[in-house]
Structure 1
């Protein structure tokens, strides 16, 4: 038995993309190399049976283990290209295995189209996920009980993670490193491997996914709208009217469903977007604050510290290598 803290299964099957298998494997290996005396991850290539696996690029590989009762802390589901119905028929034991592992506490991460396995297992029914754009329509038709988030880079629902592109899959893996090992290790690793960490998206639903764990459809609609328009000046009365509620009813139902007032939820959306920009752009703190919806820097800094426990400047400094300075003349 390995002495590593966390056991990771990288599920492989015919048609899996090697880059999404080995990319994650090498990322976790890099974490181990940073702390050789305190190994974090024990990774295994796992398949449904002992037969050789032919990857998308034509290479044939053999798994390290076959699925069974062995528990894992994290299961990575590789991106694939092909007929998913054919995969289901080839590997009927994978979905029930995922159900068993998830019930035992495992986190499950589907890289792009790999999330289909979790949907097939029923683990996303009533929940949210994203996927590669080419597969989105197929997934919507096949799994109508899942709320597919086409415009989100990464989404989490009940310990199940999904991503919708090559850059997003790397971000997803880094996020999982943070979950298991902490922000400091994840930030250091990101600096080492990301020669261009800028992204075209700002908001990552992973950090606010807990506020979606309810069944109020009207409030889900309101949250969908806020997710898309959080940088704008928002009147709660206008939002309440859009979903057919009085302002008083809207506030009451929103707080009952999410545990937060709508105004506080909006602040969380803005601060999560600001965190991303602080870590991935050279924009000034004032520019970032105004860009996520705040009219002045003092309000932005006050809200940021109330939710992140540090100021925007301190948060950015945590993500910068020692000795690297960033000039913010406006704070």
Structure 2
């Protein structure tokens, strides 16, 4: 029998942490039960582990008891790290100990998966340096600042690299759990869990949920001014040459500073601003696709649709129908 360890954080947690712990436990327990019903032995022994034998959440509103101290877990095959608050720079000592334990277990052959902002604990262990990672889109800018050596994949819901898994935000941790069930059990078990727990299978992107706000957690005032200028003119076609000239910076130097500060080229940033404006129009108005397209400075329907799909993972019509009942 394999061993699954679900980490219970030492504070710095939220109700989402509890949801991840309980939801992942139920997913793997359901998979175990399915195998047992079909004449096979349960695949995983599931264990909750932390620093102490009890952990409280939300000022004592909820608590988890009878936890196994990680110091007693000598060997495990798979570790799941739940969501955390994203101020992991001020991590409690217990969480640092958990991160060190996770890194040690990985070196000893365990695989590790972080759910939502659990990526902060995983990154603090050093295991994500130079590797791909996903986390909640809302914390991407902060995460990129705290862990510059991690390769963030904003659009992807799940990353899978050398026995390390990460996933996007919120309750998408259930999609990661389904993914791991298929990997460790089989496809049919994943389908069964998907149907019983009513979790969509094979979901790969979180693009449609992202609200683009722009990376402004940097100290380059010129770039901040350029960002605000771009954001104030979603209906205009702004050339990079005009921007660099406006701020009296050479084109190459302007590009370099903009990319370093925001993670996007000026063109990509302007495109994201326009598509975010278009998304809000589709959500809140009855405007047609063409009307919205013209209002964000596009005249080529094909080009607009391709860009919209590239950024959101959906066509403009699919997006409007999903988020605007009146318009659909």
Q: TM tier, shorter chain?
A: 0.5 to 0.7
Structure 1 gaps of 5+ residues are 204-291, 293-331
Structure 2: stretches of 5+ with no match in the other structure:
208-305, 307-328
Deviation (angstroms), 1:90: 4.0
Match for residue 43 of structure 1? 46
- Runs ≥4 in structure 1, deviation > 6 angstroms? none
Shift of 1:168: 2.6
Q: Distance in 1 between matches of 2:20 and 2:121?
A: 15
In structure 2, relative to structure 1, the CA distance for the partners of 1:34 and 1:67 (3 Å cut) is same
Shift in Å at residue 138 of structure 1? 1.6
Deviations 1:202-221 (A, max 9, x none): 99xxxxxxxxxxxxxxxxxx
Matched with 2:113 is 109
What count of residue pairs does the alignment treat as equivalent?
A: 200
**Contact between 1:154 and 1:163, CA under 8 Å: does it hold in 2?**
yes
Alpha-carbon displacement from aligned partner over 1:98-153 (angstroms, at most 9, x marks no partner): 11110111111100100111110100111110101222112111111100111111
Q: What root-mean-square deviation, in Å, do the aligned CA atoms of Structure 1 and Structure 2 show?
A: 2.6
How big is each residue's C-alpha offset from its partner over 1:150-179, in whole Å with a ceiling of 9 and x where there is no partner?
111111122111111235311110111111
Q: Structure 1 64/90 Cα, relative in aligned 2: closer, same or farther at 3 Å? A: closer
Partners of 1:85 and 1:141 lie apart in 2 by 11
What secondary structure sits across from 1:151 in the alignment?
coil
Taking structure 1 as reference, are residues 92 and 195 closer, same or farther at Cα in structure 2, changes over 3 Å only? closer
Query: 187, 193, 196: which one pairs with 2:191?
Result: 187
Q: Which residue of 1 aligns with 2:324?
A: none
- Higher RCO, Cα 8 Å, sep 6+: 2
Partners in 2 of 1:195 and 1:103 — Cα distance? 32
Q: What is the CA distance between 1:41 and its match in structure 2?
A: 1.5
Q: For 1:63 and 1:86, how far apart are their aligned partners in 2?
A: 27
- Residues 56 and 41 (structure 1), Cα distance of their counterparts in 2 relative to 1, 3 Å cut: farther
Rg (Cα) greater in structure: 2
Residue 22 (structure 1) aligns with: 22
The question of whether the paired residues in 1 share the 8 Å contact of 2:51 and 2:94 is answered with no
